[in-house]
Amino acid sequence: MLVLLAVAYVAAFIYTLVSSFRSASRINVLEREVKALKRMLATGQSPVATQESLQAEAEQQDAFLGAGVPANDITASDLTLGPQEQQPSRPADLVAQDVAQDQNVVTETLSEQPPAAATLPPRESFENRLGARWAVWAGGIALALGGIFLVKYSIESGLLSPAVRLALAGIFGLLLWAAGEAIRRKAVPSVTAAYSNAMIPGVLTAAGSLTLFGVVFAAYGIYQYIGPTTAFITLGLVAFATLRLSLLHGQALAGLGLFGSMLTPALVSTETPNIWALFIFLTISWAATAFACRSQNWKIVPALANAGLGLWALGYIGTSAVVDLTPPTLALLAMLAGTIFIWPGKAFDGQLQQQESVAETDPPQKPTPARLSVRMLKLAARHPIAISLTASLAAILPAMAMVLTAASTNIHPSFAMASMIAALAALGASRHFAVWPAVFSALGALAIVTLTTRSVFYFSGMITGTNIALPAVAHGNGTDITIALSLGAIFLLCSFAFLKRKGEQDPDFALLWAGIAAIIPVWLGTISFVEYGNLTRDWLHAAYGLALGLILIAGAEWLHRQEKDAAYRMPLNLLVTGSFIAFAFTLHTLTDGLATTVLLSVLGFVYVLATRWRTWDALPWIMAIASVGVLGCIAWEPTIVGPQNLGLTPVFNALLPGYGIPAVLAIAAAYLLRNWPENRIKNFLQAIASLMGLLAIAILVRHAMNGGILNDAVPTLGEQSIYTLLTIGMSGVLMTLDLKSPSPIFRVGSMIAGAIAMVNVLTMHFGALNPYFSGENTGPWPFLNLLLIGYLLPGIAYGGLAYYARGKRPFAYVVMLALSGAALLFAWATLSVRRFWQGENIASWKGFLQSETYTYSVVWLAIGVLLLALGSKFDAKSLRLASAGLVLLAVAKAFLIDMSNLEGVLRALSFIGLGVVLIGIGLFYQKILTGKSAATVLAESKT
C-alpha cells in the first residue's frame, strides 16, 4: 500500500512540475505580446491582431491562467502607458525599428497558434486507449465467453433441458441486441466520432449476433430440433439482420454479418444440396453487403465479400464430380455487375486528380521502360485496390478452374469462361478505379485460351525434355476459334469504349487500354491460329488480322483528329504499333518462307512512307520492329526457304531477295528518316541497316564458298578472309557516312567493325585457320594463292583504313589498325618464304630448311629497311617503329636461331648481311638526326 501511495505522489509531483513549466512558458509569451502591443499603440501603429483574434486567445488563456477579466474588457486605453511608465524620447528611426520588431513578435506569436478549427487533435494517451477502447473490446469478449461458460455449466450440471438452454441463449442474444440499440440511442455523438471502432453498442450487438448464430447452429447440428431448410433460412436472417444493424454500429459488425452469411451454407449440410439455392443465397448476401457498404462508404467488407463468393465458386468447381456451371457463373457475373453499378460504382470516378493527369502527359513524349513502369505502378495503386483486386481474382480463378476441371459439365466451359472474362473487361473499361480488372481480364484471357489448347503441353515437353500425354480434345475446333476471336473483339470494343468515354480525363488508364487493344486481340488470334488454324493458308484468321489492323489504324486516326495530343499521344502510338502487329499476323496466316520475310520488311517500309502525312512517333519505330522481325525469321531459318529448296547457283538464289530486299529497304528507311527529329530511331535504323547490309553480303559469300550449302561448318581461310575484308570495308563506309552525316552509330559502329576485324585476324588468320597449323593447301599459283587473299589483301586494307582514319578516330585505334596491317603483311611475307621452299603445303610437320631459315632473315631485314624508308618519306613514326621492331626480330633470330641451325657459308652470310644492314640503318639515322639538328639551329638563329 505504501509503495502505491509513493508512486502516486511521485506521479502527481511530476505532473505538477510539467504543468508549471508549461504555464510559465505561456505566461512569458503573453507578456511579450502585451509589451509589443503597448509599444505599437504608443507610436500610433495599429496592431496586427484583430479584436476577434485577441478575444479568442484570451478565452484560450483563461483555461490555464484562471483569469477573471474577460477578454472583451481589454481596451486600447488599458494598453497605453501611464505617466510613470513613459519612456524618454528616442530618435524616429529607432522607434520605427522597435515597432517593426514588435510587429514580427506579434505575427510569430499568432502564427504559432492556429485557429481552433484547424488545430490537430491531441495524441491519444495510454490512459485513453486503456480505458475507452481496450476495456470495451475486452468487455465484449468477456460477455461472449461468459455466455459460453454459462451454457457449458448448465450442460455439465444438467440444470436445464437443451430446449430451455437454447431458448435462454436466444433471449440473451436478443437482449444484447436491444441493449446495444438502447445504449446507441443515448450515446453522445462526440463519443461515437472519437471511438467509432470501440463503440459499446456495436460490441454488444456483435456479441448478440454471435450468440444467435450459435443458438441456430446448435438447434440444427447438435440437437436436431430444426431441419436444414429452417436452419439455413434462420442463419441467413441473422446474418442479414446483422448487416442491417451494421449501418448503425459500423463496418466491423458488417464484416461479422458477412462472415455469418458466407459460413451459413457450410454449417448447414444436406445429402441433396441445391446449388441454385446456394449461389442465389450467396449472391443476395453479396448484394446486401454491397448496398450496406455503399451507404456507409466502406471499402474493406466489400473486398471480403468478393473473396468469399469467389472461394465458394472455386471450391464447388474443384470438388464436385458433376458441375453445373450456370449458378456460379451467374453469381460471379452478378458480382461484377454489382461492382460496376452498386459499389464502388461511380463513387471513385470523380476523385481523379486532373492536375496530376495533365502533368503526367509530358513524359510520354520520350517514353522509357522505367517511366512507363512507374506510371503503371501509380495507376495500379489507385483506390480502392482491395475491391478491384479481389473482384478480379474472384472471377479469373473460377474461370480457370472451369477450363481445367475434369468433371462433367452441363455447358461448354469455354462459354462460361468467356462470359466472365468479358464482364471483367467491361468492369475494367467502365470505371477509373478498375485497373486490376483490366489487367487480370487481359492476362486471364491469354492464360485460359492457352490452357484450352494443347500448345502448353507441347511447350512443357520441349522445356522439360519429357513426353507429356496430350489431353483429348472434347469439343470441336470451331468453338475454340470462335471463343478466342470473340474475346479479342470484346477487348477491342472495351478499349475503344474507354478511350472514347474517359480517355481524355485519365491518360494513364487510356494508355493501359490502348496497350491491351494493341496486344491482347492479336495474341488471342495467334494462339487460335497456331493451335487450330491451317498453317499453310488460313483465310479466317487472315480476315481477323486484317480487320483488326484496319480498326486499330482507324482508331489511331480518330485519336489524331481529337487534337488532344497531351492525353492521346502514347495511346495513339500503341494503336499504330498494334496495327502493324495485326498486319504481320495476317502475313503469317497467308504466306511463309521468302514471301513472309520480304513482305514483312515491305510492310514496315510502308509505315516509313506514312511519315510524309503523319508525324506519329511510332511510325519510324515500326520499320525497326519489322527489321528485328526479319532478323528473327533469318535466325529461325537462315536459308529462308529451307535447305531442300535453296538453289546452288551463287548469288542468284533465294538468299539474294530474302536478305537483300530487307537490307535495301532498311537502308532506304534510314535515308528517308535522316531529318526525323528523334535521334534514337535514326541511330537505331542506321545501325540495323548497316548490320543487315553486311549480313546480306556475308551470307551470299558463305553460300558461294560452300558449294550452295549453308551449314555450321568451320569456314576456310579464304572465306574468313572475305569476312574480314567485308568488316574492314564496312568500317570505312561507316566512317565516310559519319563524316558526311555525323552520327554516334556511324562513329561507334565503324570502330566496332574495325575491332571485329582485328579479332578475326588474331583468332583466325594467325590461329585456327593459319595454313601452317591447319595444313590447308595454299594453291598451285606462285602469287595468286591462298596467302594473297588470307594475308596480303587484308594487310593492305588495314593499312588503307589506318591511313584514312588518321585524325578522324582516336590515336590508339589508328595505331591498332596499323599494327594489324603490319602483322598481316609480315605474315604474308614469312609464309610466302616458307611456301617458296616447302611448296603448296606449308604445314608445321615439315620442319625448316637451312636456306629457308636464312631467307627469313633477308626478307625481314628487307621489309624493315622498306618500312624505314616509307616512314622517313611520309614522316610516319609508326612505320619507323615497325621497322625497328622487325630489325630487332632479325637480330634476335640471328643470334638465337641462325647461330645454332645454320652452317658454313650461310651462317657467315647471315651475320655479314645483318651487320651491313645494321650499319646502314645507323648511318641513315645519323643523317636524319644531323639534318634535324641543323634545321633546329637554323630556326633558333632566325628567331
What are the tens digits of pLDDT across the range 517-553? 999 999 999 989 988 888 889 999 999 999 999 999 9
What are the tens digits of pLDDT across the range 79-94? 344 433 444 444 444 4
Are 898 and 911 in contact, with CB atoms under 8 Å apart?
Answer: yes
Out of 79-88, 334-343, 490-499, 822-831, least confident range: 79-88
Confidence band of 375 (pLDDT split at 50, 70, 90):
low
Q: What is the mean pLDDT of residues 289-302?
A: 88
Res 586: pLDDT: 96
Confidence band of 660 (pLDDT split at 50, 70, 90):
very high
Q: What is the C-alpha separation between 26 and 20, in angstroms, rounded? A: 10
Out of 36-40, 70-74, 499-503, least confident range: 70-74
| Residue 335 pLDDT exceeds 80 | yes
Q: What is the C-alpha separation between 595 and 865, in angstroms, rounded? A: 59
Are 533 and 525 in contact, with CB atoms under 8 Å apart?
Answer: no
| Residue 52 pLDDT exceeds 70 | no
Q: What is the mean pLDDT of residues 866-872?
A: 73
Q: What is the mean pLDDT of residues 248-259?
A: 83
| Residue 140 pLDDT exceeds 60 | yes
Long-range Cβ contacts of 215-221 (<8 Å, 24+ apart): 215/166, 215/169, 215/170, 215/173, 217/267, 218/166, 218/169, 219/166, 220/267, 220/268, 221/267
Residue 323, helix vs strand vs coil: strand
Query: How far, in Å, are 130, 134, 177, 547 from residue 137 at the CA level?
Result: 10, 5, 16, 63
Res 933: pLDDT: 47
| Residue 489 pLDDT exceeds 70 | yes
Q: What is the C-alpha separation between 428 and 422, in angstroms, rounded? A: 10
What are the E-state strand segments in 414-535?
Answer: none
Bigger pLDDT: 603 vs 147: 603
Res 135: pLDDT: 59
Res 10: pLDDT: 36
Using the 8-state DSSP alphabet, how is residue 943 labeled?
A: -
Res 734: pLDDT: 85
Q: What is the percent of the chain where pLDDT is above 90? A: 20
- What is the maximal distance between C-alpha atoms in the chain? 136
Residue whose grid cell is 590461329: 767
Bigger pLDDT: 25 vs 757: 757
Bigger pLDDT: 326 vs 850: 326
Res 578: pLDDT: 96
Parallel, antiparallel or unpaired: strands 408-409 and 322-323: parallel
Res 558: pLDDT: 92
Question: Which one of 91-100, 459-468, 650-659 scores highest in mean pLDDT?
Answer: 650-659
Paired with 323 in beta bridges are: 409
Are 40 and 47 in contact, with CB atoms under 8 Å apart?
Answer: yes
Res 255: pLDDT: 86
Residue whose grid cell is 528611426: 93
Degrees (nearest 5) of the Cα angle 602, 608, 611? 150
For the chain, the residue count is: 943
Res 665: pLDDT: 95
Which amino acid, residue 249?
H
Confidence band of 730 (pLDDT split at 50, 70, 90):
confident
Out of 259-268, 469-478, 642-651, 720-729, least confident range: 469-478
Res 354: pLDDT: 43
Bigger pLDDT: 727 vs 368: 727
| Residue 181 pLDDT exceeds 90 | no
Q: What rounded mean pLDDT belongs to the chain?
A: 75
Out of 162-176, 276-290, 470-484, 782-796, least confident range: 470-484
Res 487: pLDDT: 93
Q: How far is CA 909 from the centre of its chain?
A: 75
Which amino acid, residue 146?
G
Bigger pLDDT: 81 vs 432: 432
Confidence band of 923 (pLDDT split at 50, 70, 90):
low
Are 818 and 806 in contact, with CB atoms under 8 Å apart?
Answer: no
Q: What is the percent of the chain where pLDDT is above 70? A: 68
Q: What is the C-alpha separation between 664 and 670, in angstroms, rounded? A: 10
Residue whose grid cell is 562513329: 747
Res 127: pLDDT: 43
What are the E-state strand segments in 354-451?
Answer: 408-409
| Residue 938 pLDDT exceeds 60 | no
Q: What is the C-alpha separation between 138 and 203, in angstroms, rounded? A: 10
Residues 6+ positions from 246 with CB-CB distance below 8 Å: 252, 253, 254, 256, 257, 292, 296
| Residue 603 pLDDT exceeds 90 | yes
Paired with 322 in beta bridges are: 408
Q: What is the mean pLDDT of residues 791-797?
A: 89
Q: What is the C-alpha separation between 205 and 203, in angstroms, rounded? A: 5
Which amino acid, residue 227?
G
| Residue 231 pLDDT exceeds 90 | no
Bigger pLDDT: 349 vs 677: 677
Res 75: pLDDT: 42
Res 313: pLDDT: 94
Res 907: pLDDT: 55
Bigger pLDDT: 386 vs 114: 386
Q: What is the C-alpha separation between 734 and 497, in angstroms, rounded? A: 49
Q: What is the C-alpha separation between 380 and 43, in angstroms, rounded? A: 62
DSSP of 604-651, one letter per residue?
HHHHHHGGGT---THHHHHHHHHHHHHHHHHHH-TTSS-GGG---SSS
Confidence band of 568 (pLDDT split at 50, 70, 90):
confident
Res 554: pLDDT: 95
What are the tens digits of pLDDT across the range 697-715? 888 888 888 877 777 777 8
| Residue 739 pLDDT exceeds 70 | yes
| Residue 379 pLDDT exceeds 60 | no
| Residue 455 pLDDT exceeds 70 | no
Res 246: pLDDT: 83
Using the 8-state DSSP alphabet, how is residue 904 labeled?
A: T
Q: Is the peptide bond before 83 cis (omega within 30 degrees of 0)?
A: no
Res 117: pLDDT: 41
